[in-house]
Amino acid sequence: MSGNPILGVDRLSMRFGGIVAVNDLTFNAERRKITALIGPNGAGKTTVFNCITGFYKPTSGAMRLTHEDGRAIQLERLNDFRISKLAKVARTFQNIRLFPGMTALENLMVAQHNALMRASGLTFLGLIGAPSWRNAELAAIDLARTWLDRVGLLDRADDAAGNLPYGDQRRLEIARAMCTQPALLCLDEPAAGLNARESAALSELLLSIRAEHGTSILLIEHDMSVVMQISDHVVVMDHGVKIAEGTPREIRDDPKVIAAYLGADEEEAIAVMESGT
């Protein structure tokens, strides 16, 4: 790792009554890299996302987002709205959360609500059709169309989001998040429900987002082909704790990781690895 983290998670814990969903978790996500957070069902991955994005207030611990100019923001002190606005953290959800009755283009315009509200002078400039407002609106439409094009949905711009095939809706969610021009893009199982061809296209899209926009990506994903192909760094959780981290290759060969996924003990896992199955 290069040592230029955009996100530093430090001793994060989250309890729900007697359940310790995340227990003393520490890791970094490097700038302009793809960091994957993996682990078996119930490991605590989505809870980590919910803490980073302000949906949950962590029981303890700190999460520092450092912008390119050195400005650091303690995420645990902010609510979700301010995390998205000030820290420029965007996310997608495990279950698609588009506005199904709005068109694909409208979904991407809604994502730019903050910028448009500012440009409208909190409505007044918009009402009188001031040039500054019209320019901002045109820029927002332009950005939305650029992202529709990037995810291959420009020809579906005027279709209701809810009528798009499942894989298209997943890509539209990513486009919507990118319209907020995030510094850190958090994706919760973006490949869920996709077929092999769609998963490969998703991998290409995420690699191009990293390369062309320099966006840092934090990814929860069960599809190991995607994780292995695109991740720069992988953090593995089990039962709320970090059990390993490293490159995809290091993780793939780590007996603790294999054991966690197989639900087997370490000896069994090594036997599985050595048998090459």
For ligand ATP, the binding residues (CB under 6 A) are 16, 19, 21, 39, 41-47
Question: Which two tokens mark 42?
Answer: 């119930």
**For the chain, percent helix, then strand, then coil, each to nearest 5?**
45, 25, 30
Q: Which is nearer to ligand ATP, 39 or 255 (CB)?
A: 39
End-to-end CA distance of the chain: 30
Q: Which is nearer to ligand ATP, 16 or 81 (CB)?
A: 16
Least distance (Å) between residue 77 CB and ligand ATP: 21
Say which DSSP state 114 is in: H
Least distance (Å) between residue 83 CB and ligand ATP: 18
Question: Which two tokens mark 190?
Answer: 């973006």
Q: Which is nearer to ligand ATP, 16 or 99 (CB)?
A: 16
CA proximity to 30, closest of 214, 204, 205, 202: 214
Q: Which is nearer to ligand ATP, 24 or 106 (CB)?
A: 24
User: How far are the Cα atoms of 41, 50, 115 from residue 47, in angstroms, in the given order?
Assistant: 12, 5, 29
Q: Which is nearer to ligand ATP, 46 or 107 (CB)?
A: 46
Q: Which is nearer to ligand ATP, 19 or 128 (CB)?
A: 19
User: How far are the Cα atoms of 9, 185, 234, 235 from residue 22, in angstroms, in the given order?
Assistant: 12, 21, 17, 13
Least distance (Å) between residue 47 CB and ligand ATP: 3
Report d(CA 244, CA 210) in Å as an integer.
24
In angstroms and rounded to an integer, the radius of gyration of the C-alpha atoms of the chain is: 20
Least distance (Å) between residue 233 CB and ligand ATP: 18
Least distance (Å) between residue 238 CB and ligand ATP: 9
Residue 179 main-chain phi, psi, to 5 deg: -65, -15
Least distance (Å) between residue 43 CB and ligand ATP: 4
